[in-house]
Amino acid sequence: MKQYKHLIKPYIIWAAALIVVPLIMIVLYAFTEEGNSVLTFSFTLENFAKFAESTYVNVIVKSFRLGIFTTVLCLLLGYPLAFIISRCSEKSQAFLILLVTIPEWINMLLRTYAWMNLLSDNGIINNLLEMLGMKPVSMMYTDFSVIVGLVCNFMPFMIIPIYTSLSKMDKSLIEAAYDLGANRFQTFRKVIWKLSIPGVLNGIMMVFLLSVSTFVIPKLLGGGQYMLIGNLIETQFISVGDWNFGSAISMILAVIIILFMRLMKKMDTQEE
């Protein structure tokens, strides 16, 4: 084994160049003033102070609210689906899981454009409504359209871990619960749900992280006015050109996410 150890070196270099260096750059940018040259830095906390403005705080609050809402919705819709799939015959399980993952084979951008086609003012849904003699509904560029896009895009990340934990559960545990006097509801609450919690936590973590940092979906389905923290960072880098402020926001987001993940880990280990 030992002689293969140095084979890892290229990967360390690769990881350092593409992950660690950019991270250091972000930290450096976040704590320095605009217009530094390579050798002279002037450190400052101004970028973070700038964030304390209510407009920006509102953006982060909105992002988290939307992230939490999307996650809860994915959980409420995804858990029953994962549960039903895990109760199907083995053959149909494989097929249904394939159906769940198929959308992920198509680029996220395309999927989101497809939703735009469906939801827009003269899109498919409104055309159908018109054919049925009903008034068209304006759905694009609202919380609704953004949440639809987020939920649809991130649902598989909730379903798959929950399904995995449910399907690998020993079926005789469920029979044992019935046998010991638990009815269907008690069996679910005291055994099935409890044993699926690791999957649920994984799903929550994935969907929350994805939806809180997303910027493509709110941009396309929410329009230019729809500002989430991901969009805020994007505009700082791409249109405003204030890399220092953009880096500071990225760091704030990263810290909050790390705290959140620690919290989830703690819940996970407590369950066990």
- The residues of the shown chain that bind another protein, judged by CB under 8 A, are 170, 172-173, 175-183, 186, 190-191, 194-195, 271-272
Residue bearing tokens 């992920």: 104
- Dihedral angle computed from the Cα positions of residues 71, 73, 75 and 77, in that order, rounded to the nearest 10 degrees: -150
Q: Which of residues 187 and 247 has its CB atom nearest to another protein in the complex? A: 187
DSSP string, 79-113: HHHHHHHHTS-HHHHHHHHHHHHHHHHS-HHHHHH
Q: Which is nearer to another protein, 173 or 259 (CB)?
A: 173
Q: CB of residue 179 vs another protein: minimum separation in angstroms?
A: 5
CB of 90 to another protein, least distance (A): 15
CB of 265 to another protein, least distance (A): 17
Closer of 134 and 176 to another protein (Cβ): 176
In contact, 30 and 251? CB cutoff 8 Å = yes
In the complex with another protein, the residue whose CB is nearer, 125 or 195, is 195
Minimum Å gap between C-beta 267 and another protein is 14
For residues 105, 109, 110, 114, the Cα torsion angle rounded to the nearest 10 degrees is 120
The least CB distance from residue 183 to another protein, in Å, is: 5
Residue 70 or 86 having the CB closest to another protein? 86
Task: Please return the burial class of 40, using the count of CB atoms within 10 Å of its CB with bins 0-12, 13-18 and 19+.
Answer: exposed
Tell me the closest approach of the beta carbon of residue 87 to another protein, in angstroms: 15
In the DSSP assignment, the letter for residue 54 is: H
Amino acid at 258: I
Q: Is the Cβ of residue 133 or residue 181 nearer to another protein in the bound state?
A: 181
Structure-block tokens of residue 223: 């329009």
Q: What letter would DSSP give residue 34?
A: T
